[in-house]
Structures are given as structure tokens and as C-alpha cells.
Amino acid sequence: MAERQEGFTLIELMIVVAIIAIIASIAIPNLVSARLNANESAAIATLKNVSSGQAQCRASGVIDTNTNGWGEYGFFGELSGKVAIRGSTRSLRPAVLSAAFGNVAAARVMRSGYLFQIYLPSATGVGVAEDAAGGYSGSAVDAGKAEILWCCYAWPAVHGNSGKRTFFINQSGDILAANHNATIAYSGTTTVPTFDDAFRSGTSGTMDCAIAANTVGRDGLVWVVVQ
């Protein structure tokens, strides 16, 4: 009498594969959504950290390029202590941001799937970007305006893959968020927010203009306050 061959039949294998496919179709989207939410939450937390660091930097008075006794806000390279502060050969010690923020590339910092960029004002209120490798060696940043104004954006490194929303914060401390639309989707180095995109539509586009809190920004997106 022939022995019975052990193993799965073709039908049984097809049923197993079908079950795995069904589970994957349910689990994978949930995992992607969870990752996007985690990255966005991390971006919000990072902006709060940056805001706190800026407040400490200004209060310390360590950056004072016009020597009037009033502290100024800084760039990532300065706040992390990686490069010398403006108008000096010394670095900020102790640093107000972790050393990871000193890893500046193309004037931006990458963290948890998001790109971050700080702007400081020129004499006319136009946003000035950080040097490509961090800090600032130019002369366009206005000392007086840098005592009261700064802003920072955070947008996905890959829109839809590492995050969906773009975030903004300035000296007010409020974080704004914008959902992308069919026209604008900030993503990586291809579509980058300019310094005034989150300012109120119809304004002159300088850093002392009102931010677009719960209304339309200069980029046409609706910027809402993150609660």
C-alpha cells in the first residue's frame, strides 16, 4: 500500500496566500499612516524645541552683532554650537540645540523624514537663509530685526511618503500647519517653501507681516494653528 504524501495541496496554498494578501492589504496602509503621523508629530515637537532654543539664545545675549546689549536669534549651525556665532569667532556654549542640528546641508536640517530651514530678516524684512553648511558668514541679516524676528519651516523629505503636511513657526511661538493641494506639495529639494509662504495673503511679503493663522497664506494654502 502506497504511503500518503505529506504537505499542502495547491488549493490549501492558494488559500494561505489569499489570507496573507488580505492581511497585508489591511496592515500596510495602517503602517504607512502610522509612520506619517509619527513623522508629523516629531516635526511639531522639533519646531517647539527650535522655538525654545531661539528664546534661550536671544535671552542670553550671546549673539549681539550690533553690540547694543540685545540678543539676536540664530541659525541651526549657531544654535547647535557647531559653527561660530555671527560677529564672533566663538561658538555658543552651552548649545541650546543638540549637536544633530549642526548637520546642515544646503541650509537645511533633516530629521525624522522632514526638512527644516530657518530664516532671519534682512534690513527690508526679506528672509535670509543660513549658509549651506550652517551658520552665517554674510552681511545681509539685519541685527536690529534679528532681535525680534525669525521663522522656520518643516516640510516632508518626500511628500506622501515621509509626511503630508508642512509646518511653520516664528517668534510668536504658534505652530501653523498646511495641507498640500493639487497645485502645491512641498517636497524635498524640488518644491521648497519660501520665507513668506505662511504669511497672510495680500501682504507685502516681509517677515514683520502677520502670519496666516487659520486663513490663506501667500502660497494659496490654508495655514491653521496646530492645537
Sequence-distant (6+) residues with CB within 8 A of 165 are 40, 156, 177, 178, 179, 180
pLDDT greater at residue 70 or residue 24: 70
Radius of gyration from C-alpha coordinates of the chain: 23
Inter-residue contact 159 to 187 (CB < 8 Å): yes
What average pLDDT is seen over the chain? 91
* Alpha-carbon distance values, 107 to 103, 104, 205 (Å): 10, 6, 21
Q: Is the pLDDT of residue 40 over 90?
A: yes
Question: What is this structure's pTM?
Answer: 0.86
The mean per-residue pLDDT over the stretch 39-59 comes to 97
